[in-house]
């Protein structure tokens, strides 16, 4: 139920508490701007699902939770306010931007949207429990942990094929499972994979079950045409069937591309004065913790300059 309260005016409201949002909060507070960070689910964003991160500068190895806690601690120590609320819309009236949440409403001179995106999942029993124990959504992040093992990769688009190429360099074997009868990625990537002796493709099959004890042991595959099932023994599966942004609440102030990502360049400008987009929610080529943090810094600097010009 909506709880009405007296609105407090902030310099910047940041939507999302992942690496992009919290980096933006740190930069904005260091510029002496009042900051509110809104998060709808879990503080820290998608990085909290990564059991081990080894590609973020300054940390040889850390869990996603550890990184998220450090981001949070730093932002809060600098005076950023952080609240749980699900944003349902944004309205701009003159120089004031209203952020509408399920629990309250918030006003700001500038808004940074850092809502992230989610990896599309297979939707199978045990999938969430096996994250970090045989199920991964990022070969760049987790591929090194499966060196010398037999792995599967689900998907047939460019991202999937790029990850298959990467995995083939360190894994014993890579089996691509594609539910169509052909790969949809670029021809150059398909040709690269054909030259890999340790890569094979199973066409026309879907992953319909995860076989596991404490860790993943294999996959149940179902042939799309015959309905026959088979078992593929692997020590890990990488799911690369796309990501899903949840940017519908921001469509009134941002342009979205066909995939639903916010159209904004490296400057994080959305085309609406005072509204900026940072991290995985915006259209970009690389989605990593480091690039999200870079976006957060850029968006905060741009937002501060905008506020100072009012």
Catalytic residue from among 11, 85, 142, 280: 142
CA distance 210 to 126: 7
Judge whether 254 counts as a catalytic residue: no
CA terminus-to-terminus distance, the chain: 35
Judge whether 281 counts as a catalytic residue: no
Q: What is the DSSP letter of 43?
A: T
CA distance 182 to 3: 52
Selection from 244, 276, 17 nearest residue 119 by Cα: 244
Residue 249 near residue 275, CB atoms below 8 Å:
no
Judge whether 179 counts as a catalytic residue: no
CA distance 117 to 275: 18
Catalytic residue from among 138, 171, 254, 281: 138
**Helix H segments across the chain?**
19-30, 64-77, 139-142, 158-168, 187-194, 289-308
Residue 89 near residue 75, CB atoms below 8 Å:
no
Catalytic residue from among 11, 73, 85, 141: 141
Q: Evaluate the CA torsion angle 63, 65, 68, 69 in order and state its sign.
A: negative
- As annotated, the active-site residues are 138, 141-142
């Amino acid at each position: 139920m909506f709880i009405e309260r007296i609105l407090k005016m902030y310099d910047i409201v940041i939507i999302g508490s992942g690496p992009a949002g919290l980096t933006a909060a740190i930069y904005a507070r260091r510029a002496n701007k009042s900051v509110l960070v809104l998060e709808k689910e879990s503080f820290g964003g998608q990085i909290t699902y990564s059991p081990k991160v080894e590609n973020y500068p300054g940390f040889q190895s850390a869990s996603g939770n550890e990184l998220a806690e450090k981001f949070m601690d730093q932002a809060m120590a600098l005076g950023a306010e952080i609240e749980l609320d699900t944003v349902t819309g944004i309205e701009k009236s003159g120089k004031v931007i209203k952020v509408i949440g399920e629990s309250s409403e918030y006003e700001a001179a500038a808004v940074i949207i850092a809502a992230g995106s989610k990896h599309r999942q297979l939707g199978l029993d045990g999938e969430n429990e096996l994250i970090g124990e045989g199920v991964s959504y990022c070969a760049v992040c987790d591929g090194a942990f499966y060196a010398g093992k037999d792995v599967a990769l689900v998907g047939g688009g460019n991202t999937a094929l790029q990850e298959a190429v990467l995995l083939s360099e360190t894994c014993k074997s890579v089996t691509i499972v594609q539910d169509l009868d052909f790969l949809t990625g670029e021809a150059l990537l398909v040709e690269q994979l054909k030259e890999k002796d340790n890569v094979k493709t199973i066409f026309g099959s879907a992953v319909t079950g995860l076989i596991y004890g404490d860790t993943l042991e294999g996959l149940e595959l179902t042939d799309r045409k015959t309905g026959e099932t088979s078992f593929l023994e692997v020590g890990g599966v990488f799911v690369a069937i796309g990501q899903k942004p949840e940017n519908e609440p921001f469509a009134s102030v941002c342009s979205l591309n066909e995939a639903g990502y916010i159209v904004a360049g490296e400057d994080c400008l959305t085309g609406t004065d005072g509204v900026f987009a940072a991290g995985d929610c915006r259209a970009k080529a690389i989605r990593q913790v480091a690039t999200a943090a870079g976006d957060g810094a850029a968006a905060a600097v741009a937002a501060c300059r905008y506020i100072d010009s009012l």
